[in-house]
Amino acid sequence: MRLGGRLAAAIEVLDDIERRHRPVAEALKDWGVSHRFAGGGDRAAIGNIVYDALRYRRSAGWLLGQDTPRAVGFGALLLRGEHSAAGLNAVLEDDRFAPPPLDDAELKALEGRQIADAPGPVRADIPDWCVPLFERAFGDDWVGEGAALAARPPLDMRANTLRAGRDKVLAELSQTGARPTTIAPDGLRIAPISGDGRHPNVQAEAAFQKGWFEVQDEGSQIAAMLAGAKPGMQVLDYCAGAGGKTLALSAAMDNHGQVFAQDAEKVRLAPIFDRLRRSGNRNVQVVTKPAELAALSGHMDIVLIDAPCTGSGTWRRRPDAKWRLTQRQLETRMAEQAAILDAARDFVKPGGLLVYVTCSVFDEENGAQTAAFRQRDPRFAAVDHRALWQSRFPGHEAAARIDPEGGIRLSPARSGTDGFYFCAMRRQA
């Protein structure tokens, strides 16, 4: 397929996502099933246009003055800067699978439009209703932070020190272009894809099958490290899901002590069993019965709440979620988070830590949530987060926002990671 056919396919997929409210991955998969002739390179290129169009939906649409699948598809290509409008039309001209070229009205709309002149919400590529949330979270930096959340993400991995050190994994993955991450000591990073490329399928590597590494964003690795799990501790991962943080906590404990993994939705825990077999984590107990959980009350050195959240910190990877999110969903998540904080606190032993983490950038789910919790339960006090950050990641002072009232924030613009919030609160009595 040439560029025109790929662009037409991307517009078709974007239309499907919009009309049928399909998740992007499913819409792309369906397109692939019904177009079996398309090769891997075509699928990757179409996927890149679709994902870019969703990441840059606002700015791509602004360029053409419309928010249609066609406008954002064309806009996403133009934003790459590889073609001028006339140049793109010339490429599409003799391609019979291409969409109709840009017409006079579209060319006129594009004339003289520079993203640098666009209003803030367009440059930030966020919905209008999110602007106050971004302003509250980032102050004057909100446009840059929004734009960074619209960029293509890297592929991050964590060396599983129970099986292999980072250098050994780096040597094994040398063909993939993986480099050490700058902040997390066990992290590896493959840079964001450029042009029509795609990330290597690292999970097909023998080293992955041998459990030498896990796919995990550097921000998630940092959050797990900040929790401070040590060999011999009793740790409850209260919202363990597929176990990304469970495995990191267990590795930090060098398999000594106990990590209890629980989740309200048992089905979410299902992948953890395979992951544990591969990674050699032997101190993880998956909690499946209420009685097993009740027995832990008041005994935990650390309770980690990796809370359900809007996921606004992961919009680089899940850009469709950015446009689907509503104020009502945000409020639902906030209510869940408050209820989980109240339910999980009793598992912390006196002197132990309640650690709250989200992959959201909104203060409503982060600092405001933990501050409200401490008001409800003054037995819990925020630790000195500046001292904590400096002790774990010396030399990286500029990479995180430390909130005076307690909490550490990571973001693509500041830390080069997904957006994360971390807050550790010590139980006094």
Ligand X SMILES: C[S@@+](CC[C@H](N)C(=O)[O-])C[C@H]1O[C@@H](n2cnc3c(N)ncnc32)[C@H](O)[C@@H]1O
Q: Which residues are catalytic?
A: 359
Q: Is 158 helix (H, G, I), strand (E, B) or coil?
A: strand
CB within 8 A of 355, min separation 6: which ones? Answer: 226, 227, 302, 303, 304, 305, 422, 423, 424, 425
Tokens 């934003």: give the residue: 79
What one-character DSSP code corresponds to residue 46? H
Exactly one of 15, 95, 336, 377 binds ligand X (CB under 6 A); that residue is 336
Exactly one of 45, 222, 225, 239 binds ligand X (CB under 6 A); that residue is 239
Q: Which is nearer to ligand X, 42 or 263 (CB)?
A: 263
Convert residues 186-225 into a mask of x (bound to ligand X by CB under 6 A) and - (unbound).
----------------------------------------
Span interacting with ligand X, options 58-66, 89-97, 111-119, 257-265, rule CB under 6 A: 257-265
Convert residues 305-324 into a mask of x (bound to ligand X by CB under 6 A) and - (unbound).
-x-x----------------
Tokens 């029509």: give the residue: 196
Shortest CB 256 distance to ligand X, Å? 21
Contact between 82 and ligand X by CB under 6 A: the answer reads no
Contact between 58 and ligand X by CB under 6 A: the answer reads no
**46 phi and psi angles, rounded to 5 deg:** -65, -45
For 409, counting Cβ atoms within 10 Å of its Cβ (0-12 exposed, 13-18 middle, 19+ buried), the class is buried
Exactly one of 29, 268, 278, 317 binds ligand X (CB under 6 A); that residue is 268
Q: Is 356 helix (H, G, I), strand (E, B) or coil?
A: strand
Shortest CB 280 distance to ligand X, Å? 18
Bridge partners of 158, per DSSP, are 187, 214
Exactly one of 75, 121, 241, 419 binds ligand X (CB under 6 A); that residue is 241
Length of the chain equals: 429
* DSSP-assigned letters across all residues of 170-210: HHHTGGGT-EE-SSSTTEEEEPPP-TT-----GGGSHHHHT
Contact between 240 and ligand X by CB under 6 A: the answer reads yes
Shortest CB 40 distance to ligand X, Å? 28
- Calpha distance 206→183 (Å, rounded): 26
Annotated ligand binding at 346? The verdict is: no
Shortest CB 288 distance to ligand X, Å? 13
Region 337-356 residues binding ligand X, contact defined as CB under 6 A? 340
Pick left, alpha or beta for residue 255 (phi over 0 → left; psi -120 to 50 → alpha; otherwise beta).
Answer: left
Shortest CB 156 distance to ligand X, Å? 13
Annotated ligand binding at 306? The verdict is: yes
Contact between 292 and ligand X by CB under 6 A: the answer reads no
Annotated binding site for S-adenosyl-L-methionine: 263, 306
Binding footprint of ligand X on the chain (CB under 6 A): 238-245, 263-265, 268, 306, 308, 336, 340
